[in-house]
């Protein structure tokens, strides 16, 4: 059989999966399943493990410089798989898998008592890939761009930026945002406003709601007009910032914007709503029993509200008891990948598992 030429890849399969126990030195221990472990040297005895910096265990390894490689058995197969797809950020793996912590002789990291062989290790060298060194986070990238400008702090500096900035100590979940706003997956575009200290005033776009970011001189003016019904209750406006000489206090005021046609929601029975006919942009929420056909209701509402956005009907939800046996258990991500992709080979499965672990931060 002739050999085939493939693209570059790791072809040393299969590799034995091991359970690596780590600790932060403050009483918090974790287990990470590592598929890429190998021998470096026999004299002195040295081994290697490959761990992504994004993994929960990575910082523990860097902090203490110690870990234990625990070999697995057939009985530990489920625990090995579990520790590879669950993150120590969310669960105590020792507790969940009923694994016993055993005191080690040379390191302060616990061994796994159920493992037949535990190799106590101290970090001798950390080899960081150039790709990892050069990869910047969203926040680091923006900070680097601002530093590149070499801002002269002796003069007035004003920044106009379209970006999601967070006040000190706040998380994306603390910020009130509208349904009409585009939120990135994982809020990766959210960065701390600390990098804005170089500027005397910062005028921001991105958030639809008018708001300050920690102080009066860092502000979102918000959108000039509601982009959704939820924004209809907001007072829209334009921020007027009066800047004097460097060092003088900046005076800000809001010039209100009052639209000719409001954006709002009207609730009530069909008769009540029809009695509030107007030219506003409205969402109608019908309450009570249906007395006319949907077609007739729609036609009459459009006559009463030329700028009708949406018709909803409010219904009282009836709570129904659900047999817990009818609830389908959450499927394993790898199982879902197989169902979607069909038959996959061993190399593809390893790649998929690595992607799943990265997303979970395992």
Cβ atoms 248, 276 nearer than 8 A = no
Q: Tokens in use for 265? A: 């929601």
pLDDT at 16 over 90: no
pLDDT of residue 313: 86
Asked if pLDDT for residue 133 goes beyond 80, the answer is no
Answer yes or no: is pLDDT of 106 > 90.
Answer: yes
pLDDT at 187: 61
| 111-112 vs 101-102, strand pairing mode | antiparallel
Q: Residue range 13-25: average pLDDT?
A: 89
Of 8-12, 163-167, 213-217, 320-324, which gets the smallest average pLDDT? 320-324
Closest CA to 236 of 249, 255, 252, 251: 255
Q: Is the pLDDT of residue 86 over 80?
A: yes
The Cα–Cα gap between 226 and 142 comes to 29
Instruction: Give residue 137's pLDDT.
Output: 76
What number of other Cβ atoms are within 10 A of residue 145's Cβ?
Answer: 10
What local confidence, expressed as pLDDT, does residue 200 receive?
Answer: 92
User: pLDDT-based confidence at 2, cuts 50/70/90?
Assistant: confident
Q: What's the pLDDT tens digit per position in 228-250?
A: 888 888 888 999 999 989 989 99
Lowest mean pLDDT: which of 11-15, 299-303, 316-320?
Answer: 316-320
Its pTM stands at 0.49
Distance, CA of 148 to CA of 14 (rounded, Å): 47
Give the Cα separation of 112 and 228 in Å (integer).
55
311-334 confidence digits (pLDDT tens): 988 866 545 544 555 556 677 888
How far apart are alpha carbons 143 and 198 in whole angstroms?
11
3-state secondary structure the chain: CCCCCCCCCCCCCCCCCEEEEEECCCCCEEEEEECCEEEEEECCEEEEECCCCCCHHHHHHHHHCEEEEECCCCCCHHHHHHHHHCCCCCCCHHHHCCCCEECCCCCCCCEECCCCCEEEEECCCCCCCHHHHHCCCHHHHHHHHHHHCCCCCCCCCEEEEECEEECCCCCHHHCCCCCCCCCCHHHCCEEEHHHHCCCCEEEEECCCCCEECCCCCEEECCCCCCCCHHHHHCCCEEEEEECCCCCCCCEEEEEECCCCCCEEEEEECHHHHHCCCCCCEEEEEECCCCCCCHHHHHHHHHHHCCCEEEEEECCCCCCCCCCHHHCCCCCCHHHHHHHHHCCCCHHHHHHHHHHHHHHHCC
pLDDT at 74 over 90: yes
pLDDT at residue 180 above 70?
no
pLDDT value of position 59: 92
Place of tokens 């530990």: 76
pLDDT above 70 covers a percentage of the chain that reads 88
- What is the pLDDT at residue 131? 58
Instruction: Tell which residue, 124, 106, 116, 25, has the closest CA to residue 70.
Output: 116
Whole-number pLDDT of residue 45:
93
Question: Residue 14: is the preceding peptide bond cis (ω within 30°)?
Answer: yes
pLDDT for res 165: 85
Pairing mode of beta strands 211-212, 218-220:
antiparallel
pLDDT tens-digit readout, 242-282: 998 998 999 999 999 988 899 999 998 888 888 899 999 99
Which pLDDT does position 304 carry in this prediction?
A: 92
CA-based nearest residue to 152, from 289, 27, 246: 246
Average pLDDT, the chain: 85
* pLDDT band at residue 227 under the 50/70/90 scheme: confident
pLDDT at 184 (0 to 100): 58
**What's the confidence (pLDDT) of residue 336?**
83
% of the chain residues with pLDDT over 90: 38
């Amino acid at each position: 059989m002739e050999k085939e030429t493939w693209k570059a890849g790791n072809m040393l399969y299969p590799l034995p999966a091991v359970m690596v126990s780590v600790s932060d030195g403050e009483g918090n221990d974790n287990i990470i399943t590592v598929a890429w472990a190998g021998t470096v040297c026999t004299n002195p005895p040295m081994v290697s493990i490959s761990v992504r910096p994004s993994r929960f265990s990575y910082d523990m390894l860097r902090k203490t410089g110690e870990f234990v490689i625990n070999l697995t058995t057939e009985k530990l197969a489920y625990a090995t798989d579990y520790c590879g797809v669950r993150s120590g950020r969310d669960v105590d793996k020792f507790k969940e898998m009923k694994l016993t912590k055993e005191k080690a002789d040379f390191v302060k990291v616990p061994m796994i008592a159920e493992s037949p062989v535990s190799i106590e290790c101290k970090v001798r060298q950390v080899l960081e890939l150039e790709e990892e060194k050069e990869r910047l986070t969203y926040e680091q990238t923006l900070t680097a761009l601002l530093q590149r400008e070499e801002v002269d702090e002796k003069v007035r500096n004003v920044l106009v930026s379209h970006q999601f900035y967070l006040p000190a100590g706040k998380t994306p979940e603390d910020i009130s945002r509208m349904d009409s706003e585009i939120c990135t997956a994982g809020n990766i575009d959210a960065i701390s406003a600390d990098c804005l200290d170089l500027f005397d005033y910062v005028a921001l776009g991105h958030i639809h709601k008018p708001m300050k970011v920690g102080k009066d001189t860092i502000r979102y003016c918000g959108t000039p007009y509601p982009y959704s019904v939820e924004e209809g209750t907001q007072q829209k406006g334009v921020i007027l910032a009066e800047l004097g000489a460097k060092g003088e206090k900046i005076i800000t005021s809001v010039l209100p914007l009052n639209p000719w046609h409001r954006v709002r929601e009207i609730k009530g029975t069909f008769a009540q709503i029809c009695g509030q006919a107007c030219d506003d942009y409205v969402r109608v929420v019908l309450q009570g029993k249906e007395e006319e056909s949907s077609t007739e209701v729609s036609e009459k509402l459009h006559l009463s509200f030329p700028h009708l956005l949406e018709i909803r009907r409010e219904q009282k939800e009836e709570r129904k008891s659900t047999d817990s046996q009818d609830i389908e258990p959450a499927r394993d991500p790898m199982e879902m990948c197989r169902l979607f992709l069909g038959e996959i080979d061993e190399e593809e499965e390893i790649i998929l598992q690595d992607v799943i672990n990265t997303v979970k931060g395992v």
